[in-house]
Amino acid sequence: MAKNNKGLLSNLSWKFAERITAQLVTMIVAIILARLLEPSHYGIISIVTIFITFANVFVSDGFGSALIQKKNADALDFSSALYFNTAFSVILYFVLFFAAPFITSFYGAGYEILTPVLRLLSLRLILSAINSVQQAYVSRQMIFKKFFWATLIGTIISAIVGITMAYMGFGVWALVAQYLTNTTISTIVLGFSLGKKPLFQFSFTRLKSLIGYGARVLGTSLIIAGYQQLRALIIGKLYSSEDLAFYDKGKQFPSLIVDNVNSSISAVLFPKLASEQDDKIRVKMITRSSIRFNSYLMSPLMLGLAAVAEPFVRVLLTDKWLPCVPLLQLFCVFYFFQPMHNANIQALKALGRSDISLYLEIIRDVIQIIVLIAVMRISVNAIVVSMTVMSVLFTALNAFPNKRLINYSFREQIIDILPTLLMSSFMAFVVILIGQLPIESFPLLMVQVVCGGIIYLGLSVLTKNKEFLYLFNLIKPKKSKKKDYQKGA
């Protein structure tokens, strides 16, 4: 078990390093571009992203998860999925290419630039189709070190391209170039680093064996993406492109943190859980450790970011982005519950119960669409408030099936994260009080961040928090054999 945990930890470390490094660069680039570009530029990209993101689900989800979950997946499975994905992505590209003028007319006068932007940026679909199979192979083989370098190189080169073009006055095209360059370079570098040429073979039989499981995962992802993009579609249509930009910017920073930590943990957790799917006790132990560890990292970041939102936006993005502050705070609360949701869904998928995940998503989104219709004409803030309230309620719904499957109830999950929640809440309360000091935004932000970090670490030491002690033992010099973290769960 210790050896298995060491391998899990090593791969998790590389995945964390890939996400943290890439997103650190991405965040710096986003800050620079936000200062160089206008909210309206981001609004155009946000509208285009609605359609590309939904189409991208068809090529990025489904087969990738199926390839990881299948016990005996081989080279023929991967090559069949690759060729089908690529061919289907080309079809989707032409659908968006010819639909672009109709999408532009839907938004009306002043949005003529949508057509060329959508046609060019949609090329990412073809690259994503290839990259999704590459990532499935990386996860299957647990070789996340290769993914680290591919992502890092693509992120850095695209950052240089985007910032240079923005500085030269290319406006929205700077963002288009950045996104395209990132996907292109990352896919090419990962392909060369894997050193594996796909078989020149295609099997409908193998493809069919992946469709059953993959279709359920795809269905779940389509519903999620459909609802998420529906919100953006409504905001872009009923309000202005600037309002959509403020919505996206308010969402960007909390989602940047949570989504990338979740994706790191999911990329390692899912194949690990899938390999242990016949041992329900082991699956519960791993799921429980994931929820506790993820919450320990995410809770102070989310509540802390909400507490420093205004000086954070003033310092990093300038005053022109201040309308996104209340949205940012609401999204911090919304994303607070994502670690529990993510771990529960990964457990269901690993156990082969993607059907339950699909049914849960249908229930959630039917309720959310009804609520969205009721509040959509009130304000953008009202839309995000409704999302936040429902995220709290749906956390219990997501956890319900695992009570029966792995004997891990919602009540037990809340008890597991309660110490972290209490420490983070106290830290955020003190940081908010510090925010009332009459000093300039930059020094105020620095004082808040430093004091918040000291308070959270201090409470972790005083309470002998299990997750803190585990992390502390990882970074200090080892004189004795490390205790198995899973036993401590």
C-alpha angle 300-478-339 in degrees, rounded to nearest 5: 25
Looking at residue 179, what is its pLDDT?
84
Sorting pLDDT into bands at 50, 70 and 90, what band is 69? low
**206 within domain boundaries:** yes
Question: CB burial class (10 A; 0-12, 13-18, 19+) of residue 106?
Answer: middle
CA 100 from chain centre, in angstroms, equals 27
pLDDT at position 288 over 80: no
Rounded Cα gap, residues 316 and 330, in angstroms? 19
What is the overall mean pLDDT for the chain? 76
Among 417, 272, 268, residue whose Cα is nearest residue 341: 417
Written as one string, the DSSP assignment of 175-205 is HHHHHHHHHHHHHHHHHHHHT-PPPS---HH
**15 within domain boundaries:** yes
pLDDT at position 477 over 70: no
Sorting pLDDT into bands at 50, 70 and 90, what band is 224? low
**453 within domain boundaries:** no
Higher-confidence residue of 8 and 150: namely 150
Among 46, 208, 210, 234, residue whose Cα is nearest residue 133: 210
Rounded Cα gap, residues 8 and 381, in angstroms? 41
Count of all residues that appear for the chain in the document: 489
Which helix H or strand E contains 359, and what residues bound it? helix 354-375
Among 340, 371, 56, 29, residue whose Cα is nearest residue 178: 29
What is the span of the domain harbouring residue 232?
1-238
Rounded Cα gap, residues 217 and 62, in angstroms? 5
Sorting pLDDT into bands at 50, 70 and 90, what band is 454? very high
**361 within domain boundaries:** no
Q: What is the pTM of this model?
A: 0.65
pLDDT tens column, 311-369: 998 888 888 888 889 999 999 988 888 777 777 776 776 666 666 766 777 787 788 88
Among 254, 237, 230, residue whose Cα is nearest residue 368: 230
Looking at residue 58, what is its pLDDT?
66
**477 within domain boundaries:** no
The answer to whether 21 and 152 have CB atoms below 8 angstroms apart is yes
Rounded Cα gap, residues 95 and 91, in angstroms? 6
Rounded Cα gap, residues 352 and 213, in angstroms? 8
Helix axes 144-167, 124-141, angle to 10 degrees: 150
Higher-confidence residue of 102 and 193: namely 102
Q: How many CB atoms lie within 10 A of CB 1?
A: 10
DSSP state of 481: P
Sorting pLDDT into bands at 50, 70 and 90, what band is 265? low
Looking at residue 450, what is its pLDDT?
92
Percent of the chain with pLDDT over 90: 7
Looking at residue 466, what is its pLDDT?
76
pLDDT at position 486 over 50: no
**Two tokens, residue 208:** 């069919």
pLDDT tens column, 17-63: 666 666 677 777 777 777 777 777 777 777 777 777 777 776 666 56
- Overall number of domains in the chain: 1
Looking at residue 3, what is its pLDDT?
45
Rounded Cα gap, residues 256 and 19, in angstroms? 10
Give the Å distances, CA to CA, from 408 to 146, 180, 265, 393, 402: 34, 42, 19, 18, 6
Looking at residue 353, what is its pLDDT?
66
pLDDT at position 426 over 90: yes
Higher-confidence residue of 61 and 411: namely 411
**461 within domain boundaries:** no
Own/partner pairs, 100-105, CB within 8 angstroms, 24+ separation: 103/51
Rounded Cα gap, residues 52 and 46, in angstroms? 10
Among 41, 401, 387, residue whose Cα is nearest residue 224: 387
Sorting pLDDT into bands at 50, 70 and 90, what band is 432? very high
Sorting pLDDT into bands at 50, 70 and 90, what band is 225? low
Percent of the chain with pLDDT over 70: 71
| Highest averaged pLDDT of the listed ranges 78-87, 150-159, 250-259, 377-386 | 377-386
Higher-confidence residue of 287 and 308: namely 308
Which helix H or strand E contains 398, and what residues bound it? helix 380-405
pLDDT at position 145 over 80: no
DSSP state of 478: P
Mean of pLDDT values over 211-228: 62
**379 within domain boundaries:** no
Looking at residue 246, what is its pLDDT?
86
**Two tokens, residue 432:** 């908010």
Higher-confidence residue of 133 and 247: namely 247
Among 465, 470, 464, residue whose Cα is nearest residue 483: 470
